[in-house]
Chain A
């Protein structure tokens, strides 16, 4: 039982990381209809920036600065190339970001080298804590609460602020939003940057429990795709729910039959799509025209 609990807890933590990554991804798909292949490599950049920064400023500040740097990369990418893909065939944005992702992954190899690193969790979060029913790593608990905090923050922003309302309106009817005098290109730029910052944050907090290597971007990108399809493209709670489902099922399946753990999320996706073609919480949207 104790063993099962620890696998379940690990699954929850993994699921929360997935959820944060998928949230950024789904914001971008929902708003701009761009499948952002660079999302994974930006997650990796978050981890690498944290790795380099924490030597100088410590983990706390790295947690703040690394995502900002990632957001900056996102901003530049959006301004330079990605905005050209808006309104085109989905394959256009997908291919463009595919090329960018390849180039960026190579940049990581050039700057930080091929071998992997491990990032140490900050000292005050080292060790484990007695939760009453089990002992659990302090850092993972910190990670989980931070992820929940970020998710709530994004939710509050989208639901309770005027700017959030404009973003949601832009996702459902961009022409109308423009007609109402809103600066759509700027809103899109903003959403893209927020999306990439979410990938960066997830990369930073995942760094101590993940092996930091150039290919770590790919290893999060595929689950992110599955989560977004599983939860319903563009759906906020759908991607959170699907993130948790994928994280938990991956982790728990490791306990029973480790070999199939990579495939579980895809099987879940295929089964759910048979019964709910738009995913768990997807609604009919502009994406299906």
Chain B
């Protein structure tokens, strides 16, 4: 089980390794050229970390988390195209709107557990998909939104960074990723995070200890939605567009898969490792084999069956997982 024993320093040793590895990624021979792939890994890592607040720490099997990623993605696009052509305002709105929708959905699902929780989160994320698909005045319907350019950021007169250059955007996302990773780390290691873990272990007991567990679950859901929304917004800026595909239910499955594959249920850093492996292998597979989905589905089954505690769980020798 992923737990948060010991002191909660702002930055821990494994965190340094992760941050330094990402910082030098563009300079690694051969792979370093694929900057956009690296940016995508960072974005999905952030998304998976946010999701793991629910799955790994609170034990809530959300299967509709792609919904908040997608809402963040569309928000950034809509705000950029209609309200303000910039970087910060669309991203801040992605966070707020993603969090707002998570708060609303949270009201509906916070009392649920297990199968009901999973089914209802799937169904609700599907609503977002259909809305994005049908409300074409706002979302562009099937064609989606395009032309979401990355503007320059900086202080007028002092300096300016052109985010339209891939490498600049990579480091921009990395900075946000580092900030969010530290924040999520602090959240799950706070007294609040401890209560979430106690809910995962035994909700009834946590309730008898006097904690309003439904409120805690709702808060976890909302916080998770804030970060997922941000990841979605960053994704829109990466691909300069937003399509209904970001809201597809398979995206929700993918984030669960990444989290489990890396070992998110036993290690804070699992989701990051999982996202890195997942995004890279998906890119490789789909480039060489048209029917890669077959292999991909079977890989999914293999991981769930044989390494349910994920790669970091396997290395750490931890067999225990919330899956059984």
Contacts and interface: CB of A to CB of B under 8 A. Distances in A.
Interface in A245-263: 259-260, 262-263
B119 A106 contact: no
Interface size bucket, A side? 35 or more
A103 B119 contact: no
Interface stretch (A67-75, A130-138, A139-147, A266-274): A266-274
Contacts of B250: 102
B126 to A, nearest CB: 5
Contacts of A182: none
A262 B323 CA distance: 33
Contact of A102 (B113, B260, B293, B323): B293
A98 B249 CA distance: 10
Contacts of B111: 277
Contact of B300 (A102, A109, A233): A102
A101 interface: yes
A254 B28 CA distance: 55
Interface stretch (B42-50, B179-187, B301-309): B301-309
Interface of B is mostly: helix
B124 A266 contact: yes
B304 A95 contact: yes
Interface residues of B, number: 44
Given A84-B305, A225-B123, A269-B123, A107 B323 contact: no
Given A288-B114, A289-B114, A107 B63 contact: no
B142 to A, nearest CB: 13
A89 B305 contact: no
A88 B324 contact: yes
A106 B134 contact: no
15 contacts: A84-B305, A91-B63, A91-B118, A100-B301, A102-B300, A105-B293, A106-B293, A222-B122, A222-B123, A225-B122, A225-B126, A229-B119, A229-B123, A288-B114, A288-B116
Which 8 A-B pairs give the minimum distances between C-beta atoms?
Answer: A99-B300, A103-B297, A102-B297, A91-B61, A106-B294, A106-B293, A99-B301, A262-B130
